[in-house]
Structure 1
Amino acid sequence: MSVSISELEAVFDQLVEDILEHYRQFKVPESVCMQLRRSLYHNTLGGKYTRSTSVIDACSVLLGKLSNKQFLQAATLGWAIELLQAYLIVNDDIMDGSTTRRGRTCWYLLPEVGMSAVNDACLLESAVYILLKKHFGTHKNYLKLIELFHEVRLQTELGQACDTTTAPAISIAEFTMERFLFIATFKTAYYSFYIPIAAALLFCDLATEKNLQATKDISIPLGEYYQIQNDYLDCYADPEVLGKVGTDIQEGKCTWLIIQAMANCTDEQRKVLEENYGRNGKENEVKKVYEDLQLAKAYWEYDAKQAKEVGDLIANIDESDGLRKEIFSDFLSKVYKIGK
């Protein structure tokens, strides 16, 4: 990471004050402002900051050494994406019934918050546009930035819709790789990989049709890679390391692991999966089938193969319009073999 966490979070402190200043224009009671301030810090800080640092790193590759003003603007774009992420995960935690996020109690489970977390999530998303207007309102690509955030939010929500309408709504026998890839593309790829690079290209005025298409062409397989990695970690990682308790099995999620299991299991194992997948307290029965099928080994074989394929795509990027391979190589290095 080219920027330290302390430098990045110092920018966030400034941006929180920008957001609160905007609220105060509407005579919002100070007690409410302080609760919203707490929401901003609780729900936005504490992650890996992959999205925000990727914007800064991409701008540095595209423009060279950033001036103080350029750094602030790039960091602001990065934090706008982190706020979009915060909005999405607050809602995601409510829908999934999650208990922890980033090693902390989920926002909606705090006794003084409860279901007001739904409105807090909406305000987190609104904060994105407060920052974009204040810091990019006169930028030539301001409207395109707004459209980018709206489009990626919609794409992510479509992926979330597909992710939440799985078991018990449908049988695990209906889980297909096609369905999984839709979730990986729309729930993960666009807001984890596409938007940081697309936002950097717009800021640097290099968002040609060719550059944006190349970014999308690599973001989608990166999103697939990252989603499968998340599926693996949800099942196998230590909750202390992961920062949350994995819930994919009991929630009946359409994951890479269950698809592989259904494709390779015996009739007896299939019965175990169908009777236990998506049911609370039955995770160990499902994990036993995964263990018997050696899915952890299959995952690491996939990991190496997919990383090579993404690397080959990066090597073939056309740089004639100013796009740089290094941007995507940096992204891949941030997510490669997490959990190994």
Structure 2
Amino acid sequence: MNFFELIEKEATKQKFGKNPESLYEPIRYIMSIGGKRMRPLLTLLAYSLYKKDVKSITTYALAVEAFHNFTLMHDDIMDKAPLRRGKATVHKKWDVNTAILSGDVMLVKVYDMFMTLPDTKLKKVLKAFNKCAAEVCEGQQLDMDFEKRDGVTEEEYINMIKLKTAVLLGFALELGAILANANEKQQKALRDFGVNIGIGFQLKDDLLDAYADPDKFGKQVGGDIIANKKTYLLIKAFEKANEQQKQTLAHWLSLTKFNKNEKVEAVKKVYGDLSIPALANKKINSYFNKGFKSLDAVKGNVKAKTALRTFAEDLIDRQV
């Protein structure tokens, strides 16, 4: 059984709760509609660098995935997102109040899963998880704050996506190393690898949000543009634009009523004229290269290390 199958089997086994059905069914729904399962896969791969009994930690790997899906359930409410992985978001399929409450109990269940850890590991894992979970919330708040601000810098944006997205990839890898009794140096190298590829992953997501094939993407293409998200693309466009281009961007950002497709195409035209996609790709590659340098310092099973490198390379090349 491969790692992905182990995760799916564990996800099916975890019922999360029974009554009331209306509280727990949304959790099973969001956990069942697919996704890349990146984070639990990273936990299992990191563990397999040092130990072979990967099946023994699948519950904890799935806890990382459950936490990720909890954040998505709440993020989708904040973003008013209609789709997730090509399916209706929980607040659309049920309602906002149900999505909030189901998300809350989902986080409680994550702690329940971690509580089955042996005492020798529990405190260290929970300390690392709590730090990561708080940072994810900080990143989400910064993301929302940026929507109301002008003049967000590239440095501020990179810090925000590091917190909102990348630290969880870093924790997923660190968790695998902790559970496998790897030393502190190895834990840090894996965490740094995860954080850097996580930043690269989110930058790629920004690019795909504007330019992906809508039939493959699973989310509304141009959603960031429609929502006036201060993405790397928009920040660099304002930085490089001439006065006329700045006026065009400012015009579309100021409108409260507009044709969504027209706005997306107008903003993308400015991006294209300024070669913003090429700039984004250069930045994406720089963070993945930082990640690969951290991975070079990782010891352990050569096959598992190669799988981690391949995993990251696939993220660079992804189209969804």
Q: Give the SS at the match of 1:140.
A: helix
Alpha-carbon shift at residue 305 of structure 1 (Å): 4.5
How far apart, in 2, do the equivalents of 1:330 and 1:36 lie?
38
Counterparts in 2 of 1:215 and 1:42: CA distance versus 1, 3 Å: same
How far apart, in 1, do the equivalents of 2:95 and 2:77 lie?
12
Match of 2:13 in 1: 14
Match of 1:105 in 2: 88
How far apart, in 2, do the equivalents of 1:290 and 1:144 lie?
45
Match of 2:47 in 1: 59
Alpha-carbon shift at residue 218 of structure 1 (Å): 2.7
Measured against aligned partners, the alpha-carbon deviations of 1:96-116 in whole angstroms (never above 9, x if no partner) come to 110000111010012x43322
How far apart, in 1, do the equivalents of 2:295 and 2:179 lie?
22
**Unpaired stretches in structure 2, ≥5 consecutive residues:** none
Instruction: Check if 1:90 corresponds to 2:84.
Output: no
Alpha-carbon shift at residue 326 of structure 1 (Å): 4.4
Counterparts in 2 of 1:200 and 1:182: CA distance versus 1, 3 Å: same
How far apart, in 2, do the equivalents of 1:188 and 1:241 lie?
21
Measured against aligned partners, the alpha-carbon deviations of 1:226-261 in whole angstroms (never above 9, x if no partner) come to 111010011111232111114111222121101221
Alpha-carbon shift at residue 186 of structure 1 (Å): 0.4
Instruction: Check if 1:3 corresponds to 2:3.
Output: yes
Match of 1:210 in 2: 185
One-letter amino acid of the structure 2 residue matched with residue 241 of structure 1: K
1:243-322 map, 5 Å: 243-246=218-221, 247-277=223-253, 279=255, 281=260, 282-315=263-296, 317=297, 319=299
Match of 2:131 in 1: 151
1:197 to 173, 186, 195: 173
Measured against aligned partners, the alpha-carbon deviations of 1:187-223 in whole angstroms (never above 9, x if no partner) come to 11111x21111111221122x3323332333333222
Is the Cα contact below 8 Å between 2:40 and 2:64 reproduced in 1?
yes
Alpha-carbon shift at residue 330 of structure 1 (Å): 4.3
Percent of aligned pairs sharing the same letter: 22
How far apart, in 2, do the equivalents of 1:278 and 1:83 lie?
37
How far apart, in 2, do the equivalents of 1:304 and 1:217 lie?
16
* RCO higher in structure (CA 8 A, sep ≥6): 2
**Unpaired stretches in structure 1, ≥5 consecutive residues:** 24-29
Measured against aligned partners, the alpha-carbon deviations of 1:15-65 in whole angstroms (never above 9, x if no partner) come to 22xx32xx6xxxxxx4x1x233322221123111111112112222211x3
Q: Provide the TM-score with structure 1 as the length reference.
A: 0.84
Instruction: Check if 1:48 corresponds to 2:36.
Output: yes
How many residue pairs end up in the alignment? Answer: 311
Alpha-carbon shift at residue 263 of structure 1 (Å): 1.8
Counterparts in 2 of 1:194 and 1:309: CA distance versus 1, 3 Å: closer
Mean CA deviation greater in 197-206 or 35-44: 35-44
Instruction: Check if 1:227 corresponds to 2:165.
Output: no
Q: Provide the TM-score with structure 2 as the length reference.
A: 0.88
Task: Supply the RMSD in Å over aligned alpha carbons.
Answer: 2.4
One-letter amino acid of the structure 1 residue matched with residue 10 of structure 2: V
How far apart, in 2, do the equivalents of 1:59 and 1:85 lie?
19
Match of 1:78 in 2: 61
Measured against aligned partners, the alpha-carbon deviations of 1:153-202 in whole angstroms (never above 9, x if no partner) come to 100000001001123x112xx120111111121011111x2111111122
One-letter amino acid of the structure 2 residue matched with residue 80 of structure 1: A
How far apart, in 2, do the equivalents of 1:178 and 1:299 lie?
14
How far apart, in 2, do the equivalents of 1:114 and 1:325 lie?
42
Alpha-carbon shift at residue 9 of structure 1 (Å): 1.7
Alpha-carbon shift at residue 75 of structure 1 (Å): 1.4
Match of 2:97 in 1: 115
Alpha-carbon shift at residue 310 of structure 1 (Å): 3.1
Q: Give the SS at the match of 2:64.
A: helix
Instruction: Check if 1:126 corresponds to 2:113.
Output: no
Match of 1:182 in 2: 159
How far apart, in 2, do the equivalents of 1:330 and 1:75 lie?
21
How far apart, in 2, do the equivalents of 1:278 and 1:199 lie?
44
Counterparts in 2 of 1:90 and 1:129: CA distance versus 1, 3 Å: same
Q: Give the SS at the match of 1:165.
A: helix
One-letter amino acid of the structure 1 residue matched with residue 154 of structure 2: M
Is the Cα contact below 8 Å between 1:222 and 1:332 reproduced in 2?
yes
Is the Cα contact below 8 Å between 2:70 and 2:106 reproduced in 1?
yes
Counterparts in 2 of 1:170 and 1:303: CA distance versus 1, 3 Å: closer
Counterparts in 2 of 1:336 and 1:270: CA distance versus 1, 3 Å: same
